[in-house]
A = this chain, B = another copy of it.
Amino acid sequence: MQKIRSGTLAALLLGSIFTPVLSHAAPADSAAIRDSALKDDVAFAFTEGLTTEVGPRPAGTPQEARARDWAVAKLKALGFSNVRAEPYTMPVWVRGRDEARIVSPFPQNLVLAALGNSGSTSEKGIEGEIVYFASIADLEAAPAAALKGKIAFVDHGMKATQDGSSYGYFGAARRQGPSIASKKGAIAILIRSIGTDHHRVPHTGVQMWADGVTPIPAAALSVPDAEQLARVIARGQPVKVHLTLTSKMLKDQPSGNVIAEIPGSDPTTGIVVAACHLDSWDQGTGAIDDATGCGIAAASALQVAKLGQPRRTIRVLMAGAEEVGGDGARAYYKAHGAEKHALAIESDFGADRIWRVDFKLPQGHEVLAKRIAGALAPLGVGASTQEAGGGADIAPLVKAGVPVIDLQQDGTRYFDLHHTPDDTLDKVDPAQLRQNVAAWAVTLEAVANAPESMGVN
């Protein structure tokens, strides 16, 4: 919980006399907005519509363009103002065929998916002997001679955590592994999927080549396939694998953000940005990553609007190209960074129940934090003393000092699905999604109507 100083509380009470909109933050209103949001069907309908009528929507592709058109039409129909797409261009990596098989000693196919920006093999593929590494540290420690002309295999099994904190640690195999392997002369790299499931659904994801490194084919094996390959290797005979990972890079493809607003009564008080990303990986339909996030942002903004015009403008930002490096977030900041932003908040961790709220508010806003925490508590959300950090879609804003609140979803099963073909609508729990909308709605309402002065610029 945030500590409250009595001086701040006094200032708040004084302020309330002059700001009738404060009434929105009263306990009665919090209860009303929670009750209403817990019956919300906008977030699920948004998720269902985007995943069904568009499906997969990789950044910079025609599918992502269809998602923008779809979102613009949908947000207009929902009653948002100033709905528009804001285009930019970007380079795009496009998946081709992903095929692999153990050639010897025990011939059989393996299920895998190329990682973003993977190098491409020829149509005929490549063949090489596997060199096993239990972790990225082992790969780093290996002499280059061990890898020259061979295929590295990094077999680090991810463990689930409720807050997703294991992604940083285990994700290194995907993020740094390919560059390290290439530097040491490997002809390709396979990693065990950065995932916590046991299904034949590989977890893709982006990786960036370090400066001066030659791209090599890089792919994630599904968890059962990684375990199978490890068992085969453990037999002690040399293991040869044939890989066909075709892909291509395109320059200057169209991408874009989608923006929609609930205009506030007092434009001088700054904008509250409610962010998510519209793009998805190509294998699934991006239901939990991140159609639900966009559904939550839109639905909760509408729940606030139901109570009457908020003091601050709530701007829903459905960013493009989050999955491949954040081009959308940078384009938004370039276009809008000079505007006054009161707060940024983002949903990009599925839609299982929100269990914790983290704050990063300016000094003196402890009462606001306490008010929000009080409105969230009935939803089963605890307040933490961890500092909020936001996500990729609001990272440039947060870096510039814009206040941020994190509503932390339960991520226990998130990495069962993340970046796999299995990220589909059936994985969304409508009841938990509604709890997300309720938590977002009380938070947005409190901030949008806060009498405190907030924000950057």
Which residues of A are at the interface with B, using a C-beta cutoff of 8 A? Answer: 48, 51-56, 63, 102, 105-109, 111, 198-201, 223-224, 227-228, 231-232, 235, 284-285, 420-422, 424-427
Contact of A421 with B228 at beta-carbon distance under 8 Å, contacts A54-B106, A106-B55, A235-B53 already known: no
B231 near A48 with CB under 8 A, answer yes
Considering residues A63, A227, A421, which has the most beta carbons from chain B within 10 angstroms of its beta carbon? Answer: A421
Measured between beta carbons, the chain B residues less than 8 angstroms from A232 are: 52-53
Q: Closest B-chain residue to A424, C-beta based? A: B224
For residue A416, which residue of chain B has the nearest CB?
Answer: B199
A52's partner among B52, B53, B106, B109 (CB-CB below 8 A) is: B106
Beyond the given pairs A52-B228, A53-B235, A55-B102, 13 more chain A to chain B contacts, judged by CB atoms under 8 angstroms and listed by A's residue number, are: A53-B106, A54-B108, A55-B106, A55-B108, A56-B109, A199-B199, A200-B201, A200-B422, A200-B424, A224-B426, A227-B425, A228-B285, A231-B425
| In the complex, chain B residues whose CB is within 8 Å of the CB of A56 | 108-109
Q: How far is the CA of A187 from the CA of B365 in the complex (A)?
A: 67
Closest residue of chain B to A51, judged by CB?
Answer: B228
**Chain B neighbourhood of A198, CB < 8 A:** 424, 426-427
Residues of B within 8 A of A109 (CB): 55-56
A421 touches B200 (CB 8 A): yes
Q: Which B residues touch A425, using CB under 8 A?
A: 224, 227-228, 231
12 A-B pairs with C-beta separation under 8 A: A51-B228, A52-B231, A53-B105, A55-B109, A63-B108, A198-B426, A223-B426, A224-B422, A224-B425, A224-B426, A227-B424, A227-B426
- Residues of B contacting A108 in the complex (Cβ-Cβ under 8 angstroms): 54-56, 63, 285
The 4 closest A-B pairs by CB, nearest first: A55-B108, A200-B421, A224-B424, A198-B426
Shortest distance from the beta carbon of A231 to any chain B beta carbon, whole Å: 5
Closest partner residue, chain B, to A201 (CB atom): B200
Complexed CA–CA distance, A107 and B198 (Å)? 29
In the bound complex, residues from chain B placing their C-beta under 8 Å from that of A54 are 106, 108
Shortest beta-carbon distance from A428 to chain B in Å: 11
- CB A349 to nearest CB in B, in angstroms, measures 20
- Nearest to A287 among chain B residues (CB) is B224
In the bound complex, what is the Cα–Cα distance between A106 and B54 (angstroms)?
Answer: 6
Contacts of A284 on B, CB cut-off 8 Å?
Answer: 200
B424-A228 in contact (CB<8A): yes
**Nearest CB to that of A223 among chain B residues?**
B426
How far does the alpha carbon of A423 sit from the alpha carbon of B200 in the complex, in Å?
9
Q: Which residue of B lies closest to A198 (CB)?
A: B426
Chain B residue, CB-CB nearest to A225 = B424
Q: Are A111 and B421 in contact (CB under 8 A)?
A: yes
Bound together, the chains give a CA A102 to CA B109 distance in angstroms of 27
- A52 vs B239: C-alpha distance in the bound complex, in angstroms? 13
* Cα-based distance from A422 to B198 in the complex (angstroms): 8
